[in-house]
Amino acid sequence: MTLGEKQREFNYMTALLILHARQLGYGFTNGDSYRDPRVEYGHKYSLHRSRLAVDYNVFKAHTYLRGKQAKDVHSLIHDYWDMIGGNQRIKSDLNHYSYNPGDEILSGSGKPMR
């Protein structure tokens, strides 16, 4: 699968995820999406750099959810993400949703990207 094919599949999957969250009564705004490789923060091999990851902020009735509330919602929504083929959740970064089938190496680093 080419990078472009993965990006298109990821966009489709995030659309499904947003609709699923909305059906549950939640709304998302984008947090960190594309991360320019020239920016020096985050994980060096992040899938954000390949446009295959997004961090979502979660809302309920126009209220931004934080702490345990946000963690519980992201955990629930991640169950759906797992079901449709997204990467496994990162327990320390639950608002992170990424896609890299087979954890393929995309960076030339020899390490799978997350």
Q: How far is CA 4 from CA 64, 66, 107, in A?
A: 33, 34, 15
pLDDT in tens, 15-34: 999 999 999 999 999 998 88
R_g of the chain computed on alpha carbons: 14
What pTM was estimated for this model as a whole? 0.85
pLDDT for 30-58, tens place per residue?
A: 998 888 778 777 777 788 888 999 999 99
Instruction: Give the right CATH number for 3-103 from 3.60.15.10, 1.10.357.10, 3.40.50.300, 3.30.1380.10.
Output: 3.30.1380.10
Task: Tell the residue number behind the tokens 């599949």, with chain if given.
Answer: 9
